[in-house]
Chains A and B, each alone.
Chain A
Amino acid sequence: MNRLPRRLLVALAIGPIAALSVFYLWPFGTLLVEALTGEAVSETLRRPQTWDVLWFTLWQAAVSTAVTLTVGLAPAYVVARFDFVGRSVLIGLLTATFVLPTVVMGAAFLALLPDSLDRTVWAVIAAHVAFNLAVVVRVVGALWEHLPTDMEHAAATLGASRWHVFTQISLPLIRPAITAAATIVFLFTFTSFGVIRILGAPGTRTIEVEVWRRATQLGDIGGAAVLALIQLAVLAIGLAWSTLAQRRHSRALALQPTAERRRARSPGERAFVAAAAGGAALVALVPLTALVLRSFSTPTGWSTRAWTELGRMEVRPGIRVGVDPVEAIVNSLSTMAWATLFAVVIGGVASLAITAAQRHGRLIDGGLMLPLGTSAVTIGLGMLITFDAPPADWRASWWLVPVGHALVAVPFVVRTCVGVLRSVDPAMTAAAATLGASPTRAWRATVVPYLWRPLGVGAALAAAISLGEFGATSFLSRSGGETLPIAIEQLVGRTGTTLQAQGYALATMLALTTIVLVVVVEQMQAGRRIEP
């Protein structure tokens, strides 16, 4: 075996392990200690409010999931089975909506809905549905397009009407994908934070929002920690159930390698395709359009003032508001730059370590994925209470927010890189060795060059994540250091159309930047080849 020297492996692994331990494991441990000592647990469980919040979180997530599935099935079918003008545009549009920062989606629905509806649970559910439609369309559509169309035809030749074909054949067969999509949507809506901070009212608080409120508004750190753990427990149960359900219902299907899509033929079919695809496009487009329009609207008519006067903070002569939009843009960009740098360095080195160390690598891999399973709010809360006192009084440090963002982004960088590195043919390293290269030299010549391209993809993803990150930032950002999502949340929540319009303008900017970054990612991945 041509093995890499042990000290190289240790050198590669030590950085990511240290970063994970200090910024994730330690805060999480502090959180556990905070929750499990003292009277926090019994006090939290005795408070009726806790159960109200838990109940609300559950039922709004269940309703959001059910509605998203119902709305999403028709477009999923149409996208899987038919070729039509704008098909790829529709998929792109839904995906772009899905990757938008949560505050942008919240702001978009605030812009769209009349005052009587926003700040109700219906506004929240509507935003959740629009947000997660892409999950159903892509996850269910991906399985559906591989189901042999002839199986449906066979059912029809046995006398099954379209409805019976759907209920007796298609639905049972796509059930694993429906379960998977439902799980993802449920996880997202159960831990919804940004959308509810903007659209929710006092009676509509999820656990996530209650954790934030307890910790930062009421100073009840113990109660917040207990709630965060309750949430984690519910999520673990949900995930375990879903894994079991998917295993039980997955079947050996004669899946077709290539989809067999066709144009709609009969007038009825054409109307169905147009309605399903058009409806889905509207769900994605209307809120965003409202967002853009509201940034140009004032009580006296259309105006570009919200955009041109972003920097001018005086509402009336001498009276200033607490948030400076221009400063928020600058803060967000510098936070993004540092967070991307941290995520790329840690993620890149970790990916090399994971692929080089093989068996032990899986441990590092699993460890770095942990932050993905922990909500951003929990991460923020843990960091808030850990780095607030000696020996690590880092609350005032400029790098704390970027590090929090990097923690959320590293799993994505690692996933992009490890996949590519693992596909490097080991025969090449062996060939280099036969030409006289030492194991380290061979590794540097044959493996490392493949890192740069996925690292670029990872960097763009990290940048997009950092720009939109709201959960952890809500805990870690300090006055004067507001990032764009924080500024948007504060501005759209103010009374006064001028400030609101500025919030909508910032949200529009954030939406566009995120979409551009995600398009870059998709382009780079589309062109991904095993070439350095």
Chain B
Amino acid sequence: MSDLDVRDVRVSFGDTDVLDGVSLRINGSETVALLGPSGSGKSTLLRVIAGILLPDNGTVTVGGTDVTHTPTHQRGIGMVFQDNQLFPHLSTLDNVTFGPKMAGESRSSRNERGSAWLERVGLAGFEQRSVTDLSGGEAKRVALARTLAAEPAVVLLDEPLTGLDRELHDRLAVDLRTLLADVTTLLVTHDSDEATVVADRTVLMSDL
């Protein structure tokens, strides 16, 4: 699995510096939790790494390749958004297989893979469900399966467990640890307990 190296990233909106020379290194297969209060620029950093936001300065390197100016869809970086952003016009299975479809995989092969991923996240049999009917926990699992099915080199998770009830939160936290074991992952959260359960290592936003 690829290393992720973020070096000296600067982003300012108008006069405010949101990220002021942030550097972070994650080794292959490692899961790192990034902890910080809301408004500390965690989500902005994820957006820079995913290529949604171009930094004013600094570089993003994945597996030794500088991707700072590579368009998002060619970076091989997956991201689970805080509000999931499932595609409401597609079935659950078509959401999960969207990545393989973009990669040109045949329908039968990607559907098989999609079903396998649904099973891994505990949603076997959900293939034809409408994503608008899913519960909060189910939607989060679909979003996770969708990102992982695209087999990205690095996975970014933006507050993946926020808004779920306590029991669901704890169960999914344990599941996350298993699912992300072999993937280079950066997880953003404001909950230090969550960080300890899911991640191998925790870094504070204020230390970067």
Contacts and interface: CB of A to CB of B under 8 A. Distances in A.
Interface of A: 148, 150-151, 153-162, 164, 168-169, 172-173, 251-254, 265-266
A158 B54 CA distance: 18
B150 interface: yes
6 contacts: A153-B85, A157-B73, A158-B150, A159-B103, A172-B89, A254-B88
B184 interface: no
B79 A159 contact: no
Interface string B47-83: 0001110100000000000000001111101110101
A394 B79 CA distance: 73
Contacts of A159: 73-74, 99, 102-103, 150
Contacts of B50: 153, 157
B146 interface: yes
Contacts of A154: 79, 81, 85, 87
B147 interface: yes
B141 to A, nearest CB: 15
Contacts of A164: 73, 102
Contacts of A254: 83, 88
B89 A173 contact: yes
A266 B72 contact: no
Nearest to A171: B89
Given A155-B87, A156-B52, A252 B132 contact: yes
A252 B139 CA distance: 15
Contacts, number: 72
Contacts of A173: 88-89
B87 A169 contact: yes
Contact of B88 (A153, A155, A158, A253): A253
B85 A150 contact: yes
A160 B132 contact: no
B117 interface: no
Interface string B78-100: 11010101011100000000110
Contact of B147 (A158, A251, A266): A158
Given A157-B72, A159-B102, A266 B54 contact: yes
Contact size range, B: 20 to 34
Contact of A150 (B83, B89, B99, B147): B83
Contact of A265 (B54, B77, B102, B146): B54
Contacts of A168: 98
Nearest to A169: B87
Which of A153, A155, A157 has the largest number of chain B CB atoms within 10 A? A157
Given A252-B132, A265-B54, A266-B54, A157 B79 contact: yes
A165 to B, nearest CB: 8
Contacts of A162: 73
Contacts of B73: 156-162, 164
Interface string B22-64: 0000000000000000000000000000111010000000000
Which of A168, A173, A266 has the largest number of chain B CB atoms within 10 A? A168
Given A150-B85, A157-B72, A158-B147, A251 B132 contact: yes
Contacts of A157: 50, 72-73, 75, 77-79, 147, 150, 152
Which of A158, A161, A164, A172 has the largest number of chain B CB atoms within 10 A? A158
B102 A160 contact: yes
B187 to A, nearest CB: 15
A51 to B, nearest CB: 39
Which of B77, B87, B152 has the largest number of chain A CB atoms within 10 A? B87
Nearest to A161: B73
Contacts of B103: 159
A154 B85 CA distance: 7
A153 B83 contact: no
B55 to A, nearest CB: 11
Nearest to B152: A157
B85 A158 contact: no
B77 to A, nearest CB: 6
A162 B102 CA distance: 12
Q: Which 4 A-B pairs have the closest CB atoms?
A: A156-B72, A159-B102, A154-B85, A158-B99
A251 B130 CA distance: 11
Nearest to B149: A158
